[in-house]
Amino acid sequence: MNAQTEMKPYVIGLDLGGTNSVFGIVDSRGDIKATTAIKTQGYDTVEEYVDASVAALLPIIEEVGGIEKIKAMGIGAPNANYYTGTIEFAPNLSWGHDGIVPLADMFKERLGVPVAMTNDANAAAIGEMTYGVARGMKNFIVLTLGTGVGSGIVINGQLVYGCDGFAGELGHVIMRRENGRVCGCERTGCLEAYCSATGVARTAREFLATTDEPSILRDMDPDAITSLDVSIAAGKGDKLALRVYEFTGEMLGEACADFAAFSSPEAFIFFGGLTKAGDLIMEPIKRSYDEHVLKIFRNKAKFLISGLDGSSAAVLGASAIGWEI
Amino acid sequence: MNAQTEMKPYVIGLDLGGTNSVFGIVDSRGDIKATTAIKTQGYDTVEEYVDASVAALLPIIEEVGGIEKIKAMGIGAPNANYYTGTIEFAPNLSWGHDGIVPLADMFKERLGVPVAMTNDANAAAIGEMTYGVARGMKNFIVLTLGTGVGSGIVINGQLVYGCDGFAGELGHVIMRRENGRVCGCERTGCLEAYCSATGVARTAREFLATTDEPSILRDMDPDAITSLDVSIAAGKGDKLALRVYEFTGEMLGEACADFAAFSSPEAFIFFGGLTKAGDLIMEPIKRSYDEHVLKIFRNKAKFLISGLDGSSAAVLGASAIGWEI
């Protein structure tokens, strides 16, 4: 650590989610020194949201020794553009759905420290490189398997933002070009429509509707089935639920085989709710990858689960963006 | 240009093809000052190949003022690994098919200048950035449409080599996951199996076999049809041949839509034989891309044909690798 880091040993991370905004003050090893949180919604304007954020932040900033100990702030947020520091037309934010919100500049003005912002999957990738399983790696891809499928791509040690700041939308490569499922992006056949948490629940419903296979999931209202229910059933050895994970992992492996043809990463790192299934999902991913990938890439890439502490992973990821400024 | 470039104003480019090895001495604007060529095959060992190359090179090096005018050498070659400067198991090279040939080091030793080597698609990408239509661009993808489909990907101004030097095999992303055509890589459904020159001829044969549509291509032995025949027929307004280009362009547009989700490039640049069809292929590519790409990327990327002079494009591309050392 250089003198600058010794003088300013912390960054602020903000995980700006649809419901909660969680703040953490983090040191260079990824230890969270202080946290606070506010509700994300319920403000009429972004100014009110920033006011509430700063009011919550000031006490924990004092706790670690004042603003002169803070090097920067990093924000992980939906629809965030790294290049401009803006949130653009975020459908789920009461104060951000109908325009371009210069959130990074607003925090910079109020706190007097540099602020960088990107989407949560990119934040996760920088988080893995800074504190997690990608330390020392120059080429890897993080896939976030949550409500949707997101991605953060690192090439030559740099996050890939593309010409417009929106690169790395691997949840929206097309995996089924015929009779594909409708995706939230209004197209059909996207990876996300199959391999997100909601995709897993959809697959379970499809398997239940199209087979007579016995399953404890048949005791539930099909529309109420979630990926958690599938995971619990699979944990009990339910064959249909296990097949759902096979199907999901196989498609993820096929997708990763295509991603290898693009950037030949050292590792694929999986992050988010679905990874709690562990080997149930990771084994079919690896098997399918080796089966489908171009021969020159076979047995090269590692398949890893995120090394960031689950409950604070998003805050750590966001804070890591701060070190990059 | 700095003092170094003024003192050493030239690089040597070597386009090492399956049949011919073409050398050019190139200045920083992409003007070729002298050229020579030898046959690539017919040598028992790589030493003999390098001997013949150096013998051919010495007179043209003298022509431009001697080796002290040469900054470096760049080589574009099949199965070349940029990181190691080696050609690895190149099936079509008599002196390189059964091992790892340290060709860059061999030329470096003989000529006394730094030597870098990469595959021809990567060389084309660096060539476009140095002398062609990608000057000033930091994020773009070159797709070479020749006997196969190759690619060179530039992100943040750097060529993407991946963890092993083999990144950028976009000809081998899977476009048909069911009933796909067998590809030279022994898998099925690859982009290359449809959108290479041989893929175009295959599509024509398929259309002829599965329809009764009249076509001047029916006068030929189906097995003898090449992409050039399809191009000539399309130029005469032959509807079936035109449909072949529609089909090929549509698939390339769909593939580019997936590539945009990866790296959101400023431009897609097409290189090689099939681009001679001009709008016949470029129009369906653009139309299909806009139809299939994720909304946030729509109407952003440019679709360009290579700006390198056709006959010397490969030598220019190879030479451009030399400036990057």
Of residues B139, B186, B254, nearest to A162 (C-beta): B139
pLDDT value for A2 = 54
DSSP codes of every residue in A9-47? -EEEEEEE-SSEEEEEEEETTS-EEEEEEEESSS-SSHH
Of residues B172, B187, B261, nearest to A172 (C-beta): B261
pLDDT value for B244 = 98
Of residues A155, A175, A257, nearest to B160 (C-beta): A155
Write the CB contacts of A5 (distance below 8 Å, at least 6 apart in sequence): A28, A71
How far apart (Å, rounded) are the C-alpha atoms in residues A155 and B159? Answer: 10
pLDDT value for B18 = 83
How far apart (Å, rounded) are the C-alpha atoms in residues A173 and A155? Answer: 19
Sheet of A115-118, strands arranged across: A32-39, A20-27, A10-16, A70-76, A115-118
Query: Mind listing the pLDDT tens digit for each residue in B66-104?
Result: 999 999 999 999 889 999 999 987 777 888 777 889 999
pLDDT value for B2 = 54
- The helix/strand/coil state of B89 is coil
CB A60 within 8 A of CB A54: no
AA identity, residue A198: T
Distance from CA of A305 to the nearest CA of B (A): 19
pLDDT value for A129 = 94
Q: How many Cβ atoms from other residues are within 10 Å of residue B239's Cβ?
A: 12
CB A177 within 8 A of CB A266: no
DSSP one-letter code for A80? E
How far apart (Å, rounded) are the C-alpha atoms in residues A80 and A126? Answer: 15
Q: How many Cβ atoms from other residues are within 10 Å of residue A298's Cβ?
A: 14
- The H or E element containing residue B46 is helix B46-63
Of residues A187, A264, A295, nearest to B164 (C-beta): A264
Residues in chain A: 325
How far the first Cα of chain B sits from its last, in Å, is 15
Q: Which residues of A touch B155 (CB under 8 A)?
A: 155-156, 158, 160, 162
How far apart (Å, rounded) are the C-alpha atoms in residues A306 and A274? Answer: 11
Structure tokens at A206: 């499809």
> What mean pLDDT do residues B290-304 have?
95
Residue A70's φ and ψ, nearest 5 degrees, are -100, 120
How far apart (Å, rounded) are the C-alpha atoms in residues A74 and A57? Answer: 14
Sheet of B80-81, strands arranged across: B80-81, B86-88, B100-101
CB A248 within 8 A of CB A163: no
| Closest by Cα among A223, A230, A87 to A166 | A87
- The helix/strand/coil state of B126 is helix
Structure tokens at B198: 């041989």
Cβ–Cβ below 8 Å for A187 and B292: yes
Structure tokens at B293: 């790409």
Q: Which residues of A touch B161 (CB under 8 A)?
A: 264
3-state helix vs strand vs coil in chain B, percent to 5: 45, 20, 35
| Closest by Cα among A162, A293, A296 to B259 | A162
Mean of pLDDT over chain B: 94
Residue B279 region, left (φ>0) first, then alpha (ψ -120 to 50), else beta?
alpha
Task: Tell me, yes or no, if B261 comes closer than 8 A to chain A by beta carbon.
Answer: yes
Sign of the CA dihedral with B138 first, then B140, B141, and B145 last? negative
Residue burial A30-51, b: 16+ Cβ < 10 Å; e: rest: bebebebbbebeebeebeebbe
pLDDT value for A311 = 74
> What mean pLDDT do residues B225-243 have?
96
> Cα–Cα distances in Å, from A83 out to A198, A210, B155, B293, B300?
30, 47, 15, 21, 16
Task: Tell me, yes or no, if A71 comes closer than 8 A to chain B by beta carbon.
Answer: no
3-state helix vs strand vs coil in chain A, percent to 5: 45, 20, 35
Structure tokens at B324: 């990057």
Q: How many Cβ atoms from other residues are within 10 Å of residue B60's Cβ?
A: 16
Reported confidence tier of residue B6, pLDDT bands at 50, 70, 90: low
AA identity, residue B259: F
CB A304 within 8 A of CB A140: no
In this prediction, the residues of chain A whose per-residue pLDDT falls under 70 are 1-6
CB B280 within 8 A of CB B242: yes
Task: Tell me, yes or no, if B163 comes closer than 8 A to chain A by beta carbon.
Answer: yes
| Closest by Cα among A156, A118, A160 to A137 | A156
What is the model's pTM? Answer: 0.92
Beta strands in A222-292 (DSSP E): 267-271
Cβ–Cβ below 8 Å for A153 and B300: no
**Chain B residues 269-288 within an 8 A CB cutoff of chain A:** none
pLDDT value for B1 = 47
How far apart (Å, rounded) are the C-alpha atoms in residues B13 and B59? Answer: 15
Least confident of A92-96, B33-37, B185-189, B210-214: A92-96
AA identity, residue B155: I
Which residues face A227 on adjacent strands?
A: none
pLDDT value for A168 = 96
Among chain B residues, CA nearest to A169: B261
| Closest by Cα among B131, B117, B122 to B158 | B122
Opening angle at CA B28, ends B17 and B265, nearest 5: 70
pLDDT value for A95 = 86
How far apart (Å, rounded) are the C-alpha atoms in residues B268 and A247? Answer: 33
pLDDT value for A6 = 65
| Closest by Cα among A151, A150, A126 to A141 | A151
Task: Tell me, yes or no, if A187 comes closer than 8 A to chain B by beta carbon.
Answer: yes
Among chain A residues, CA nearest to B138: A163
> Cα–Cα distances in Å, from B252 out to A26, A166, A256, B258, B270?
46, 21, 20, 10, 10
